[in-house]
Structure 1
Amino acid sequence: MTTTVERSVASARSGAAAGQPLAGRRALVTGGSRGLGREIAIAFAAAGADVAVASRKKDACEDLAAELAAATGRRVSAHAAHVGDWDRLDPLLDEIEQELGPLDVLVNNAGMAPLYDSLDTVSEALFDKVFAVNVKGPFRLMAAAGRRMAGRDGGVVLNVSSMGSKRPTAADLPYTAAKSALNTLTAGFAQEYGPSVRVNTILAGPFATDISRSWDPATVAAMAREWPARRVGDPAEIVGAALYLCGPHASYTTGALLAVDGGRLAAP
C-alpha cells in the first residue's frame, strides 16, 4: 500500500526540474514533522538531499524520518528541539553534523501563532513565546549555521514568514510583528554572510495545514473570494518556491521576500 509520504515523494519528483537539484546537499528543516515543514522535508529528500527533521516532538520526527528514508533512500535524521531555546540550537547543529555532515541548507520553518481574545489580554508570556519561536530561534540558527556555512563552501538559508507580515491585523499582531522582524533578519543576514551564503524568505499565505482546522470555513470562503486564486493553498504548493530558493537556479537571488499566497497580497 502506498503511504502518504511515498505519494508526496512521487509528486515532488514529478514536479521538480530534471535531475535532483539538491543532490549531495544536507538540509535542516525546523518544524519539519508537520505542515509546510513536512512538505519541504519530503521535497528536499526527493530532490536528493539528506535531511534533518527537527521539532519539539521527537517521535513525530522519527516517524517521518523512517518513512522518508525508506521512500527516497536518503539519510534522514530526527531531532528534538524547541527553537525558542537558545542554548539548544548550537548543540542541535553539532548533532546534525555528526549524523549527516556539515549543513548546506537551513530552513527556518518552525513558528507559532496562538489565539487570544483581544490585544489587552495578551500576556507577557504569550508575547515572549511568540517572539522566541518566530524570531529569536531563527536569529540564533542563522547566526550559528551561517557562520559555519560561510567558513566552508557557502550555503543557503530559507525563512518561512507570512503574508500577514505585510497585512497585519489586531487578531494576529504578535505573530505578524514577529514575522515582520524575520523579514528584516533576512536582509541583514544576507548582507552579513554574502556572497557565499544566500538568505531568502517565503511569505506564506493561508495553507490547509493542521492549523487550519480551527478556521471557520464560511469566513475563509468569504475572504477567499477576494483573492486571485480564490482558495486556500495545498501544503504541497509551497514546494516549488522552496526548491527554487534553495537550489542552484536561484544563485543570484538573496535577501528576497517571495510571496506564495494565492495572490492574497495583491487582493484589496
Structure 2
Amino acid sequence: MTASVEAAVAAARPDPQPFAGRTALVTGGSRGLGREIAIALAAAGADVAIASRKKEACVELATELAAATGRRVSAHAAHVGHWDEVDRLLDEVEAELGPVDVLVNNAGIAPTYPSLEKVSEELFDKVFAVNVKGPFRLTALAGARMVQRGGGVVLNISSMGSGRPTAGDLPYTAAKSALNTLTAGFAQEYGPSVRVNTILAGPFATDISRSWDPDAVARMAQDWPLQRVGEPAEIVGAALHLCGPGASYTTGALLAVDGGRLAAP
C-alpha cells in the first residue's frame, strides 16, 4: 500500500471524538431536536451549553449529560427573541465554558391559529423574533468572534415547510425562509474561516407533534418516500456532519432531513 493510500485510509476512519476541545452552544437545547443534537455533540467530545427559556429543564439535562459523558455541560436561561438576552447568553456561555466554536440555532416556535385573518400582530412578531431575530443576532455576535479566533461553525435548524408553505403555518414557514436567507448571507460574510449551514427539518416526533392528528399525518405520509415521521435522533447524523470536519468544504448549504418530503409531489 502506498503512503498516499495509507494516509487516505487513516483520514477516512471515523474519529470517535471529532469535537474534542471544542465548545458548542445549542439553543432550544432542552428538548426535541435540540436535545438530541446537544447529547450527540457531548458524546462526540464537545463541551456543551444548553439554552432555553426554562432553565430547570436545561439544568436537568446538563446534569445527566455531564455525568454520562464526562464533558462540561452548562445550563442557561434565555429567550432568543429578546435581543439583550441573546447578547448576555453568549457572554455567559463563553465565561463559563470558553469561546464558542459551534453554534446551533435550533430554538423555534410555531404557534397555531384558526385562520390567516385571525393571526395577531403579537403572534406574528413573536414567531419572527424567535425564528429569525434571535438566530440573526446570535450568529452575528458569535460569527464575528469566531472569525477573530480563526474559525467556527454555525448550524441553523430550519424547516422543509420553507419550501412547502401552507395556510396553517404561514408565519412560521415565512420565518424559516428568512432563516435560509440568513444562512447564505452569513456564509458569505464570515467565510472562509466560518462555515454556516442549515438543516431543513421535516416532520419529527417531538413535543410539537403531540398536537397533530395522527390519522391525518399517516395519510399524508403515504405520499412521502419514507412514508413516516422521523424520530428525533435521526437528525443527529446530518447535524454532526455539517458541524464537523467532514463537511469542511460545505457552507451556505440547505440540507433536507425530511424523509423525502420535499421530493414528494
Shorter-normalised TM-score: what interval?
over 0.9
User: Tell me, which stretches of 5 or more residues in structure 1 are unaligned?
Assistant: 1-15
Give the direction of change, closer, same or farther, for the CA distance of 1:209–1:17 in structure 2 (3 Å limit): farther
> Does 2:216 correspond to 1:206?
no
Match of 1:64 in 2: 61
Give the alignment partner of residue 239 of structure 2, picking from 237, 242, 247: 242
Match of 1:226 in 2: 223
Q: How many residues align?
A: 253
Counterpart Cα distance in 1 of 2:203 and 2:85: 30
Deviation at 1:17, TM superposition (A): 3.6
Give the alignment partner of residue 32 of structure 1, picking from 10, 29, 32: 29
Deviation at 1:21, TM superposition (A): 1.2
Match of 2:261 in 1: 264
Which has the larger Rg?
Answer: 2
Match of 1:118 in 2: 115
Amino acid at match of 2:142: A
Match of 2:10 in 1: none
- SS of residue paired to 2:111: coil
Match of 2:84 in 1: 87
Poorly superposed stretches of 4+, deviation over 6 Å: none
Amino acid at match of 2:64: E
User: Tell me, which stretches of 5 or more residues in structure 2 are unaligned?
Assistant: 1-12
Deviation at 1:33, TM superposition (A): 0.1
Counterpart Cα distance in 1 of 2:16 and 2:224: 34
Match of 1:158 in 2: 155
Counterpart Cα distance in 2 of 1:55 and 1:91: 13
Match of 2:4 in 1: none
Query: Aligned residues: percent identity?
Result: 83
Match of 2:71 in 1: 74
Amino acid at match of 1:43: A
Counterpart Cα distance in 2 of 1:164 and 1:124: 21
- SS of residue paired to 2:149: coil
Counterpart Cα distance in 1 of 2:123 and 2:68: 39
Amino acid at match of 1:71: A
- SS of residue paired to 1:74: coil
Counterpart Cα distance in 2 of 1:62 and 1:42: 13
Match of 1:23 in 2: 20
Match of 2:129 in 1: 132
User: Normalized against structure 1, the TM-score is what?
Assistant: 0.94
Q: Deviations over 1:18-68 (max 9, x none)?
A: 421111110000000000000000000000000000000000000000000
Match of 1:142 in 2: 139
- SS of residue paired to 1:259: strand
Counterpart Cα distance in 1 of 2:130 and 2:234: 24
